[in-house]
Chains A and B, each alone.
Chain A
């Protein structure tokens, strides 16, 4: 048995880039081992069995071995169950992957985040562009990175958030009731409470929570642009 052999890992491919003449380095996100790079030897050969299997957004069962930083992929099996993403949902899938590639450190297991990611992909594969699963994924990502959100307490007054008032979100502190005459973008108390209760049935909640999560994620990216969002916007403008 090869050194450091690990088998039967449920995982997704996040991104891949060519390595040497015929191989690939794949950035994978596995449920039990977290995010790690794997060398897929010969994956770019015309008749490679890995070729079609190592596709992003498809649940895979992987096996690898090695002791270095980059392990060698030994086996990749297609598990099925999530149909291929298409259209705008496919672009949103790239957005999820880019968030993981840019924000999630390597070699830390995040099974909850993995499950949230899988749920989000399943929602996208059914064509739901605005699914609650996407917001849940973003929230879980921030939580797992150590930036838990307190959404139902006013960060200035310490009072409970009230559903018919307007709040401005102070980064790294929390929601603060908007002062009269302040025209900063705000979210309603109801949106914040809905997000805590995980209730996305209201269209306004869906809309405002998306904006709020975008603002928070941009902060945690510390100025690094999201390519997938730029491409998405450019395509909408054509």
Chain B
């Protein structure tokens, strides 16, 4: 049977798979089609693995009750560790940001992952980010200082500003990671916005 428009015959499960793959960021109809034919024709074992992994992840992963990151147990390994400093809570936008912080090997405290940032034009506000959950976490009595490590974008700044006001009002000490020139950075090769901000946020020295 030839589909309307004279194209190749289409079966509904094929269409469904192409359509399903389009939910991935940056995947349009053409890429989805390419992926589909690749999985079906060239890598059926890989397709099987992908299907399995998706199913398992969806069934077993949830948000850690304490840090909101993905975990298989109620409380993730990091939050359950006795070697982490319970009095420090670092707030980041996304799980990858927590990974970047961990790579510094300079931080021994715990995290809270917002899974986003305030984005007023997209309608992402405190309800969408579940600020109340964060407040409950930060006021557990053990946390002493909250470190705001949201990005230095407008959205990240808006998030940091409101979190700082709201957490301070709940009796917590709040700090923000510093911004300025990168380590090894040279003025000559830095962008003007960064240099301007570094100048504005200069501090006493020596």
Contacts and interface: CB of A to CB of B under 8 A. Distances in A.
A52 B196 CA distance: 13
Interface residues of B, number: 27
Interface string A53-72: 10111100000000000000
B120 A57 contact: no
B125 A234 contact: yes
A238 B127 CA distance: 10
A52 B126 contact: no
B37 interface: no
B193 A55 contact: yes
B191 A52 contact: yes
B187 interface: no
B162 to A, nearest CB: 5
A52 B152 CA distance: 9
A57 B154 contact: yes
Interface stretch (A29-37, A85-93, A168-176, A214-222): A85-93
B118 interface: yes
A184 interface: no
A95 B166 CA distance: 21
Interface residues of A, number: 34
A98 B131 CA distance: 23
B125 A98 contact: no
B76 interface: no
Contacts, number: 75
A235 B192 contact: no
Nearest to B131: A238
Contacts of A95: 120
Interface stretch (A106-114, A140-148, A159-167, A225-233): A225-233
Interface string B195-206: 011001000000
A227 B193 CA distance: 28
B158 interface: yes
Given A231-B123, A234-B126, A235-B125, A80 B154 contact: no
Nearest to A225: B123
B149 to A, nearest CB: 17
Nearest to A55: B154
A90 B126 contact: no
A238 B126 contact: yes
A86 B121 contact: no
A78 B192 contact: yes
B122 interface: yes
A235 B129 CA distance: 12
7 contacts: A57-B154, A78-B191, A94-B121, A230-B123, A231-B123, A231-B124, A231-B125
Would you list the 8 A-B pairs with minimal beta carbon distance, nearest first? A231-B125, A228-B120, A227-B123, A94-B120, A21-B26, A231-B120, A87-B161, A234-B125
Interface of B: 25-26, 28, 118, 120-127, 131, 153-154, 157-158, 161-162, 166, 191-194, 196-197, 200
